[in-house]
Chains A and B, each alone.
Chain A
Amino acid sequence: ETGVTQTPRHLVMGMTNKKSLKCEQHLGHNAMYWYKQSAKKPLELMFVYNFKEQTENNSVPSRFSPECPNSSHLFLHLHTLQPEDSALYLCASSQARGTEAFFGQGTRLTVV
């Protein structure tokens, strides 16, 4: 139990579908992150929310839309994805000026 929970753990979606990934943290942190891990690539930062405000958008295509309604919850809304978007999507949280980031178990996304 890491204190960061992601749902669903696995998701298969068609290119015309709309789905959402959910992340919830119970650690009292005030920064949350979305990372993408594709096969044989480093972890890539997608978005950062600091005190519910988006402070980083790492040139992510608009078919990925984040939402942070409060400091404990983070969503990643997906629409019209491409097969190359298939990857492990990881959520993390940390103190805004703190130390380590704690990761969830990830959502394995397959776009067909």
Chain B
Amino acid sequence: DQQVKQNSPSLSVQEGRISILNCDYTNSMFDYFLWYKKYPAEGPTFLISISSIKDKNEDGRFTVFLNKSAKHLSLHIVPSQPGDSAVYFCAASALWTDGGQNFVFGPGTRLSVLP
């Protein structure tokens, strides 16, 4: 049973346009959400995050939106560049009572930005 879902395995976007990657989660205990970017044969690289007390966080070309009632978040990349082509993972975190935390990842969406 996947707690974090990314229903689009792949997405193709023209260079300069907006890329929108979507993510849904089922566990209402998650209170921190992250997006990672991954190139082949490398570890995931942190992109941007958002706390459950916010509904939007922006960092340069990247904006993450959170809709808690719908248990949905999205990553917007504007403008998209060919170097953005990679697999994007959505992740969710819940803090444990002992002070630790866990990160649960979605299956990823492969973004291709076409020149």
Interface size class of A (residues with CB under 8 A): 20 to 34
Q: Which residue in B34, B44, B46 is a CB contact (below 8 Å) of A90?
A: B44
Q: Let me know if A2 and B43 touch, CB within 8 A.
A: yes
A78-103 interface mask toward B, CB cutoff 8 Å, 1 = contact, 0 = none? Answer: 00000000001010101011111111
Q: Does residue A74 face the partner (Cβ distance < 8 Å to B)? A: no
Q: Specify the chain A residue showing the minimal Cβ separation from B48.
A: A100
Q: Let me know if A99 and B32 touch, CB within 8 A.
A: yes
Q: Specify the chain B residue showing the minimal Cβ separation from A4.
A: B43
B84-110 interface mask toward A, CB cutoff 8 Å, 1 = contact, 0 = none? Answer: 000001000001101111111111100
Contacts of A48 in B (CB 8 A): 100, 102
Q: Let me know if A45 and B102 touch, CB within 8 A.
A: yes
Chain B interfacial residues counted at CB < 8 A: 26
In the docked arrangement, what's the CA distance between A108 and B41, Å? Answer: 8
Q: Does residue B19 face the partner (Cβ distance < 8 Å to A)? A: no
Q: Let me know if A96 and B34 touch, CB within 8 A.
A: no
Q: Let me know if A42 and B42 touch, CB within 8 A.
A: no
Contacts of A4 in B (CB 8 A): 43
Q: Specify the chain B residue showing the minimal Cβ separation from A6.
A: B43
Contacts of A92 in B (CB 8 A): 43, 103
Contacts of B45 in A (CB 8 A): 2, 103
| CB pairs A–B below 8 angstroms (26 shown) | A4-B43, A35-B105, A41-B107, A42-B4, A42-B89, A42-B108, A43-B105, A50-B98, A50-B100, A55-B98, A55-B100, A88-B41, A94-B103, A96-B99, A96-B100, A97-B99, A97-B100, A99-B32, A99-B49, A100-B49, A101-B34, A101-B46, A102-B46, A104-B43, A106-B42, A106-B43
